[in-house]
Structure 1
Amino acid sequence: MKILQESFGELNGQAITAYTMVNDQGMEVTAIDYGCIITKIMAPDRNGTFENVVLGFDTVDEYALHSPYFGAVVGRFAGRIAGAEFELEGKKYLLAKNNNGNHLHGGLQGFDKIVWATETVQKADAVSVVFSYLSKDEEEGYPGNFDIKVTYTLTNDNELQVSYTGETDQTTLVNVTNHSYFNLSGELKRDILNHQLTLKSDQFLELDPDLIPTGEFLSVENTAFDFRNGRKIIDGVQSEHPQNILAGKGFDHPFLLTENQSGEIILEDEESGRVLTVETDQLAVVLYTGSQMTGGYSVRGVPVRRYLGLCLETQGLPDSIHHAHFPSSILKKGEQFESMTKYRFGVL
């Protein structure tokens, strides 16, 4: 196992570095210190052919200009916060408004647009890149100095482990995730409409027209949201369910997981034979099927279009601060924020 290091260009005078973790099976994961962005995951198909299975760019300028959070860590709070404001311990906080008057994915200068400090760790059976950042008090409007570490570890079992740890010196909100867009066809040969997804989930969150939770938990029963026995993404695109139509004919919804760390999320592409199994300690996964991807740019030579990739964002619930019955995303002084998600690549 090894880690390779190379320049990924410059942004605003800062050098950006790419780190490529390689395991003994030939699988590779490349990440840069700008936004902790995963730029490539080279995974084998059923014939042993290694191809990239995530959306990304080859230059940092493209990320700065075009990226809809491709591969990045998003925070301090993943998802939307209604009205870009909240109250905590009797005090009102105003956040950056960057999504129709609401707050999205940490704001204008969230974790996805930061150059992180890095260190590498090499062991016999795993290699890691550790990213660290101090998000200062009042950054993007959030209270408290929040010290966070994100660790990407590649194992010889073709598993990418993403772990988060953090602590704050004041009560604050924390909800972080990785925003990789997966496409298991390899090198974007096809869109993700015929990918099959299996989810251990009985309920999803109803969204309002701004894609913010209404507070209602809806049953997946007899809808295109029922992935318990596996179904293709195209079912949601063709669905007449108001929530599928609201999300631009597809999905942009948090699903409540009924199990953790037991193969609760499985994505398959029958043609390539690739399978991605996601296991997490988080209570939800946001399924986003790229239904808003437009913009006249290309992803490594492929013109961007809807459904070119899908996200499986393991996290707490968006806008939880405004819904008392949602599990809390409040982190207090002295508490440790911890989260772990594993992405295991295999074949059918």
Structure 2
Amino acid sequence: MRSSKLCASALAGALVAGSPALAATAERSNAGLLADGTTIEAVTLTNAGGISARILTYGATLQSLFAPDATGKIADIVLGQDTPADYERHPNYYGVTVGRYANRIAGGHFTLDGVGYQLPLNNGANSLHGGTAGFDKRVWLVRSISSGPVASVVLSLHSPDGDQGYPGAVDATVTYSLDEGGSLTIVFGAATTKPTIINMTNHALFNLAGDGSVDGAMAQKLTIPAAAYTPVDATLIPTGELRPVSGTAFDFRNGRVLAEALRNGHDEQIRIGRGYDHNFALDKGLTATPQLAARLEDPASGRMLEVLTTEPGLQLYTGNFLDGTSLGKNGHLYRMGDGIALEPQKFPDAPNQPGFVSARVDPGKPYRHVMVLRLTTTR
């Protein structure tokens, strides 16, 4: 695969004499109001290569991510909604920061140090993405913004002891940073006053052809370096098994077009998930520095996205529950397959699965997850 041609002329210019005019920028603005009159802010990070990310303080949400294709044409490549009020009225997790615990916890219940904790049940019999009022439905504070070779914004949130049933008062941060090489780095951090569980990620749904494209995202090619995945029961809770992907619809090790097996009714797991809604056990495991978790390529536009992470798992979700009733940006009605979520994280239901990597966080030992969205082109 050849190196990226991502706005080569602009990037080359940035290297000449290191012109300050071509440094990445961070701009703060008013994004609109919530139903109770709360003002939501937006911070837009932009680099010289034409990539820009707009982050809302509501849910620490990645509302848009604009990137050029192989010819330089720029498009928004994440699904979302037009205003903060839309995110509040019609919560669909588009681009939000999810926590305290991303993904599902069976029965909304877990035990820590012999004490049982009950979480809200907001996904059938289970708890999903932190409960009915998770991190995605909170207003985060802007702690700092900066421009320069790397443009960034730091957001913070205080979650009190007992919030949504979780133990410990937690101070969480999310830092978005955009560099001139085309990487948007998202760093999640959290410190707790009591032993607790934390599992944070970003829930962007990507379509490298551009949000609202006629053919959706399922013609795009996905690679996941994982020899095993965690099959689920009828409520989408992992069974505890690490099942080999070899010879199944879940083998993305050498890259495959998403649509190839999306409706493979012969695979029970595809039937259960109504498509892909499964966690992959990454070959790399839990790492100190971010390593490759997924590569998504759009043959039509030439855009390529690489997702890197320090976490051991990656949830693949093909928008199976989007049914045309969800109104997105620019009046788009989102349907199944219009976007793909690639969510690095601890495994679903890890607090109840002793064979999974632990999600426990203790006082004095802060949680940290680094994920990178690296944008390039394939030609």
User: TM-score higher than 0.5 here?
Assistant: yes
1:95-136 CA-to-partner distances (Å, cap 9, x unmatched) read 111111211000010000000011333242101111101111
Q: Aligned-pair distance for 1:18?
A: 1.0
- The answer to whether the 8 Å contact 2:207/2:216 transfers is yes
Bigger Cα displacement from structure 2, 82-91 vs 307-316? 82-91
Q: How does 1:1-348 map to 2 (within 5 A)?
A: 1-11=24-34, 12-189=36-213, 190-239=215-264, 240-248=266-274, 250-259=275-284, 261-294=290-323, 296-299=325-328, 300-348=330-378
SS at structure 2 position matched to 1:321? helix
CA distance in 2, matches of 1:2, 1:153: 10
The code of the aligned residue for 2:296 comes to L
TM-score by length of 2: 0.89
SS at structure 1 position matched to 2:161? coil
The code of the aligned residue for 2:297 comes to E
Bigger Cα displacement from structure 2, 121-130 vs 294-303? 294-303
TM-score by length of 1: 0.97
CA distance in 2, matches of 1:200, 1:187: 26
CA distance in 2, matches of 1:313, 1:231: 18
The code of the aligned residue for 1:283 comes to P
The code of the aligned residue for 2:364 comes to G
Q: Aligned-pair distance for 1:236?
A: 2.6
CA distance in 2, matches of 1:27, 1:158: 7
1:212-260 CA-to-partner distances (Å, cap 9, x unmatched) read 1111111100011000000011123132211011111x20000011126
CA distance in 1, matches of 2:80, 2:72: 22
1:141-180 CA-to-partner distances (Å, cap 9, x unmatched) read 0000011111000000111000011111101010111000
SS at structure 2 position matched to 1:296? strand
1:252-305 CA-to-partner distances (Å, cap 9, x unmatched) read 000011126443410000001100011111101000000111252322222121
Amino-acid identity (%): 36
| Structure 2 unaligned regions, length at least 5 | 1-23
- The answer to whether the 8 Å contact 1:159/1:342 transfers is yes
* Larger strand share, 1 or 2: 1
CA distance in 2, matches of 1:127, 1:330: 32
Q: Aligned-pair distance for 1:140?
A: 0.3
The code of the aligned residue for 1:219 comes to P
1:58-94 CA-to-partner distances (Å, cap 9, x unmatched) read 1112111223100000000001111111111111111
| Structure 1 unaligned regions, length at least 5 | none
CA distance in 2, matches of 1:124, 1:306: 39
SS at structure 2 position matched to 1:265? strand
The code of the aligned residue for 1:34 comes to Y
Count, aligned residues: 347
The code of the aligned residue for 2:242 comes to F
Flag as ranges the 4+ runs of structure 1 deviating above 6 A: none
